[in-house]
Amino acid sequence: MGFENILTEVRGTGARQTGLITLNRPKQLNALNDALMDELGAALKAFDADAAIGCIVITGSEKAFAAGADIAAMAKFSLTDTYGADFITRNWETIRSVRKPVIAAVAGFALGGGCELAMMCDFIIAADTAKFGQPEIKLGIIPGAGGTQRLPRAVGKAKAMDMVLTSRMMDAAEAERAGLVSRVVPLAELMGVALAAADSINELSGISVMMAKESVNRAFEGTLADGIMFERRLFHTLFATEDQKEGMDAFLNKRKAAFKQR
Ligand code: HXC
């Protein structure tokens, strides 16, 4: 895949591997412009369609995961450029259709659209240098890629209002306490830990992994009763897979499961 604003690599040596995407506009602190978001969408789709890939990791640089949408590009936008051209929806939403797990490995700034992109991933592993924020209000706008919706779901109304209204940044320790990130690790260990988490997912039955992701995401839509029924039906369905037979047989025979992805 030849891209200008991101780097893509395949990592891992197991039967299924990890698609690693590195946001790569370091001079602009990985500010997310249209070209980058188009490339990110294309890379995500390609990895999602590749049967050899079990999991995707998105990362940035040590200084910035991403400092937000590109302010230089947005500065002159009119309503025609935003509503008229379907700004954000047209190329930021691809990640929502990815069925394989997507892990954000965040160091440095994750601000505005950068924080929103991290929150669109399935979980966030943060370096101890990470800083999260929604500073759009200082620019006379508000978060536009889901920040006002996903942040309160992650950290509750009080902290979300504080961040969105005052533009206060949250450091990694606070982000972990608040539930925005799943783990905080020293910066030097960030990629090792994120890729190890991806590797552990790669070893599993991909069908059960996709169903688990889809079911957890249901917790954020609709009622609890609907979500539980959705989960129940996926749970029932997994008994039609060979991987379920293999996983349970392996446990009962005290051996490691060898999933066949079917
Ligand atoms: C365009 C950006 C940028 C951004 C940084 N840069 N953030 N360019 N868009 N979001 C550029 C700077 O202009 C500068 O370019 C270079 O990156 C280095 O940044 P500095 O400001 O010099 O670095 P530093 O002093 O270390 O400060 C880091 C920072 C600051 C605190 C992250 O850059 C900052 O506040 N950035 C903006 C953060 C922000 O407001 N994000 C929200 C954007 S709105 P030069 O050419 O001078 O070297 C948004 C809306 C989302 O995200 C809606 C959905 C799409």
SS3 track for 39-61 = HHHHHHHHHHHCCCEEEEEEECC
pLDDT at 222: 86
Query: Residue 221: its pLDDT value, please?
Result: 84
- Distance, CA of 31 to CA of 209 (rounded, Å): 31
| Residue 207 Cα to ligand 1 middle (Å) | 40
Among 28, 61, 76, the mutation site with the greatest number of ligand 1 atoms within 8 A of its Cβ is 28
**Phi/psi of residue 220, each to 5°?**
-100, 5
Give the active site residues. 69, 113, 116, 136
Rounded Cα–Cα distance for residues 184 and 201 (Å): 19
First to last CA, the chain: 28
Pocket of ligand 1 (CB under 6 A): 28-29, 31, 67-72, 88, 109, 111-113, 116, 135-136, 139, 143-145
Residue 252, token pair as written in the block: 């009962």
The dihedral of CA 188, 190, 195, 197: what is its sign? positive
Q: What is the pLDDT of residue 236?
A: 87
Output the pLDDT for position 83. 92
- The C-alpha atoms of residue 238 and residue 137 are separated, in whole angstroms, by 45
Rounded distance from Cα 32 to ligand 1 centre (Å): 10
Query: What's the pTM?
Result: 0.96
pLDDT in tens, the chain (262 residues): 689 999 999 999 888 999 999 999 999 999 999 999 999 999 999 999 999 999 999 999 999 999 999 999 999 999 999 999 999 999 999 999 999 999 999 999 999 999 999 999 999 999 999 999 999 999 999 999 999 999 999 999 999 999 999 999 999 999 999 999 999 999 999 999 999 999 999 999 999 999 999 999 999 888 989 988 888 998 989 999 999 999 999 999 999 999 999 9
| Distance from C-alpha of 117 to C-alpha of 99, rounded to nearest angstrom | 16
3-class SS at 246? helix
Give the per-residue pLDDT at 2: 85
DSSP character string of 216-236: HHHTTSS-HHHHHHHHHHHHH
Distance 63 CA to ligand 1 centre (A): 12
Closest residue by CA, ligand 1 atom 2: 28
State which of 36, 71, 83, 149 you would mutate to test the pocket of ligand 1, scoring each by most atoms of that ligand within 8 A of its C-beta: 71
Taking the CA of residue 64 as reference, the ligand 1 atom at the shortest distance is 32
